Amino acid sequence: MAIVYQTYNFAEAKYFVYITKNPHEADLWVYPVNYLGGHRGDTIWYFTNLWEEATCKIQLCSFGEANIVVYMAQRYTDAGWRNSRKKGRYPFA
């Protein structure tokens, strides 16, 4: 499970992420949860307000600036990497 903190400081961010509404342009489909526990992998994201507990700090940006394009999946079973070349290069958990 990735515990994600959204930063507004460019220097603090580990990855620059663009959230898309178009599932066909996404590198990664993630399923957001509102509780910690029990989940494994990069595809389940819990957003936190505490940077100290985060496993990954991201900054939301435009499509052109992004390292990775993310689509928020509606179902747990839909979450997964769509671009296999980026899978190993961008660990969130």
pLDDT given at position 92: 77
Closest CA to 3 of 47, 50, 64, 35: 47
pLDDT tens digits, 54-69 = 999 999 999 999 999 9
Average pLDDT, the chain: 92
Contact between 93 and 14 under an 8 Å Cβ cutoff? The reply is no
Q: Taking the CB of residue 70, how many other CB atoms lie within 10 A of it? A: 21
pLDDT given at position 14: 94
pLDDT tens digits, 32-59 = 999 888 778 889 999 999 999 999 999 9
- Confidence (pTM): 0.89
